[in-house]
């Protein structure tokens, strides 16, 4: 029942928003998103039911949603970031814009909750559509190109994943004589050795493109650069988690032996992305791009934690997913405010905004420090756990991750200096308005909260996690 509410509020709300006047759209959407946050809180404190309905019984497909510790806080992240993004949007975007935002929330909630592979895939692909239209209708000059790149690249991966989904189900059917798409049933598949790398690759490709992980990030610069700040915040904060979440939710159970076998290769791959993202972030002149590549680097860090196949590493990845969503989302929203005030995104000159806008500078500093991994803030806790997981038996990658954390300080402080510090005679800009502070404070408070109390998240995640890691070990993998 609670699941129906969780999915129903954004879906019904989206169509309701479509029926109100443009002028009332933002308020209505905000109310819907706030209700969704309340529903999530009810979900968090109360019992956590699952929803399991027959859907397409001929193929054994079930409408099965469940929130274990891995997904629980990603649901919360989606609810909170959607609300904040709506509050940060301009009312004049109109009702269709808010419709797509809420529709995206619906698809995201469904994706994080899905434990049926078919259902997972449906939400996986549905979520592409709102972003496509948001990029097409409400973004900068190159928005249409960005939208096309987003959809084509992501669908390229998704369609191969669809082959993978069907292949897994067909193999299951041939093994057992009946159909099932339930992820927990699809473990222990006897996949022919020749087919293993291909099916594994189909899934990995889709997840790597959606995240994005290097070198599949071709859509990222345009999409992040062109979309309005709230949409960037949602794509970078929430949607980017789909890819790494997919590795956890789908690949770890189904392809545990393959994951263990390809581990070194996977680690080298994402470590390359980690280094690439960091160095790209250092040399960007566009402030959104610095954050975009920083985000790419952090997503590689999360993937590094997952591929370590240790409890600590995966726990750190789970934690960092939530933290990264809040931090990067907040940072993109602040950059949106800055862009609006100065009218461009270049920061080559020292702009000195902190002269006239101390509040803006403070919040900016806060999120920048969170992203670069200052101890006490959640970035540090997550990265620490990941490195701890890597140290156990992949020391080289632990060293690489540690070095890249230093680079993070470089690019983030460079960004801060470039925008906020500089000439005392710089032209003053208006500071954050009360309304803007009102939606920044909750994000900042949440970041502080999970920074000083990571156990709030990790204690929920540990039970699901031990199950997953135990499973890997049992499959003759590691430890």
Whole-number Å distance between alpha carbons of 75 and 38? 12
The DSSP secondary-structure symbol of 56 reads E
Residue 346: phi and psi, rounded to 5, are -80, 145
Closest to another protein by CB, 196 vs 417, is 196
Closest to another protein by CB, 91 vs 402, is 91
User: Rule CB under 8 A: is residue 147 a binding residue for another protein?
Assistant: yes
User: Rule CB under 8 A: is residue 350 a binding residue for another protein?
Assistant: no
Q: In angstroms, what is the minimal distance from the CB of 378 to another protein?
A: 33
Q: In angstroms, what is the minimal distance from the CB of 415 to another protein?
A: 32
Whole-number Å distance between alpha carbons of 430 and 11? 37
Tokens 């990790």 belong to 458
Interacting span for another protein (CB under 8 A) from 31-39, 120-128, 235-243, 411-419: 120-128
Whole-number Å distance between alpha carbons of 396 and 165? 34
- Considering only 31, 35, 44, 167, the residue that binds another protein (CB under 8 A) is 167
Residue 276: phi and psi, rounded to 5, are -60, -50
Pull the structure tokens for residue 465.
């996690």
Q: In angstroms, what is the minimal distance from the CB of 170 to another protein?
A: 5
Cβ atoms of 467 and 315 closer than 8 Å: no
Q: In angstroms, what is the minimal distance from the CB of 225 to another protein?
A: 18
Whole-number Å distance between alpha carbons of 435 and 430? 13
Interacting span for another protein (CB under 8 A) from 128-136, 286-294, 321-329, 384-392: 128-136
Closest to another protein by CB, 107 vs 400, is 107
If binding means CB under 8 A, how many residues of this protein chain bind another protein? Answer: 34
Interacting span for another protein (CB under 8 A) from 155-163, 295-303, 355-363, 405-413: 155-163
Q: In angstroms, what is the minimal distance from the CB of 256 to another protein?
A: 22
Residue positions counted in the chain = 479
Closest to another protein by CB, 151 vs 405, is 151
Closest to another protein by CB, 59 vs 439, is 59
Whole-number Å distance between alpha carbons of 178 and 173? 5
DSSP output for 318-353: HHHHHHHHHHHHHHHHHHHHHHHHHSS-B--S---G
Cβ atoms of 150 and 131 closer than 8 Å: yes
User: Rule CB under 8 A: is residue 148 a binding residue for another protein?
Assistant: yes
Tell me the β-bridge partners of 182.
116
Tokens 């060293």 belong to 399
| Binding positions for another protein, 193-212, rule CB under 8 A | 198
Query: Using CB under 8 A as the criterion, which residues of the chain lie in contact with another protein when the complex forms?
Result: 55-59, 96, 121-123, 125-126, 128-129, 132-133, 136-137, 144, 147-148, 151-152, 155-156, 159-160, 162-163, 166-167, 169-170, 173, 198
């Amino acid at each position: 029942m609670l699941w129906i509410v969780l999915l129903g509020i954004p879906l019904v709300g989206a169509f309701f928003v479509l029926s109100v006047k443009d002028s009332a759209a933002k308020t209505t959407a905000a109310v819907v998103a706030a209700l969704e946050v309340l529903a999530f809180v009810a979900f968090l404190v109360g019992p956590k039911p699952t929803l399991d309905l027959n859907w397409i019984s001929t193929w054994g497909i079930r409408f099965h949603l469940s929130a274990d510790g891995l997904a629980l806080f990603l649901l919360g992240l989606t609810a909170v970031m959607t609300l904040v993004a709506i509050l940060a949007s301009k009312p004049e975007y109109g009702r269709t814009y808010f419709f797509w935002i809420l529709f995206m929330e619906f698809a995201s909630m469904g994706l994080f909750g899905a434990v049926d592979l078919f259902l997972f895939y449906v939400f996986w692909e549905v979520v592409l559509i709102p972003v496509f239209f948001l990029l097409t209708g409400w973004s900068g000059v190159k928005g249409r190109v960005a939208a096309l790149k987003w959809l084509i690249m992501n669908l390229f991966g998704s369609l191969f994943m669809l082959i993978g989904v069907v292949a897994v189900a067909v193999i299951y059917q041939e093994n057992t004589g009946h159909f099932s798409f339930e992820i927990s049933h699809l473990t222990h598949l006897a996949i022919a050795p020749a087919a293993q790398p291909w099916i594994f690759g189909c899934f990995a490709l889709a997840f790597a493109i959606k995240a994005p992980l290097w070198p599949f990030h071709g859509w990222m610069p345009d999409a992040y650069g062109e979309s309005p700040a709230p949409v960037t915040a949602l794509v970078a904060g929430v949607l980017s988690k789909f890819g790494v979440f997919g590795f956890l939710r789908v690949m770890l159970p189904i392809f545990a032996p393959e994951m263990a076998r390809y581990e070194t290769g996977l680690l080298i791959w994402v470590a390359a992305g980690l280094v690439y993202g960091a160095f790209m972030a250092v040399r960007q002149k566009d402030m959104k791009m610095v954050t975009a590549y920083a985000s790419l680097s952090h997503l590689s860090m999360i993937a590094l934690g997952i591929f370590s196949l240790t409890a600590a590493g995966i726990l750190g990845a789970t934690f960092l997913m939530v933290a990264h969503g809040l931090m990067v989302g907040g940072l993109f929203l602040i950059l949106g405010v800055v862009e609006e005030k100065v009218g461009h995104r270049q920061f080559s000159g020292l702009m000195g905004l902190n002269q006239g806008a101390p509040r803006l500078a403070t919040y900016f500093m806060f999120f920048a420090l969170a992203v670069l991994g200052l101890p006490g803030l959640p970035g540090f806790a997550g990265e620490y756990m990941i490195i701890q997981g890597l140290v156990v038996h992949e020391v080289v990658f632990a060293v690489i991750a540690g070095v890249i954390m230093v680079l993070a300080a470089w690019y983030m402080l460079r960004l801060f200096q470039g925008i906020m510090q500089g000439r005392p005679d710089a032209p003053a800009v208006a500071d954050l308005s009360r309304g803007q502070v009102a939606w920044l404070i909750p994000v900042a408070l949440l970041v502080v909260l999970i920074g000083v109390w990571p156990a709030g998240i990790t204690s929920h995640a540990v039970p699901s996690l031990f199950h997953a890691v135990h499973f890997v070990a049992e499959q003759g993998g590691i430890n």
